Amino acid sequence: MPTPFTKENQPTRRRGKAKKTLALDAIRKISGSEQNYYENVVELSVMGEGNPALISQLLQRIDPPIKATLPKINFEFDVTLKPHEQVLQIVKATADGEIIPEAAQILINGITSVMKVKEVTELEDRIKQLEGMAGVNDE
């Protein structure tokens, strides 16, 4: 029997505020507003006072840097070829400078993942076929 979830039966330890919220609340308490905080950070940076590592960390916590994204790639790719031939196409395109190595690795990993899924699917089908021939039920 599950425990009833009632107003009286609540968790005693609540989660609390997130670290980002706590940091922003502390900034507002000291600086008054985010605008004042940024002005203080710039002033400390220009005057050479304070801890530059701390200032950098605080700024990164509030507004994390944007993650790098790969550029859009366009090269001749024949999807009808066998997987190993597709990988060779990607390697050749990388060697010719058409795509960057990081993009090539992502494409090759994608082909590898598809092949693993296909392999598992084919094995499941074969097992079901053998069980059917042997008269084994799945129940």
Rounded to 5°, the CA angle 105-86-103 comes to 25
Whether residue 70 is contained in a domain is answered as no
Whether residue 119 is contained in a domain is answered as yes
> What is the span of the domain harbouring residue 110?
83-134
pLDDT tens for each residue of the chain, 139 residues long: 667 778 777 777 777 888 888 888 888 888 887 788 777 777 776 676 667 776 777 778 778 888 878 788 888 899 999 999 999 999 999 999 999 999 999 999 999 999 999 999 999 999 999 999 988 765 5
Q: How far apart are CA 95 and CA 67, in angstroms?
A: 26
In the chain, how many domains are there? 2
Whether residue 10 is contained in a domain is answered as no
Answer yes or no: pTM beyond 0.85. no
Q: What is the per-residue pLDDT across 21-37, written as a single tens digit (0 to 9) for each?
A: 888 888 888 888 778 87
* DSSP code for 72: P
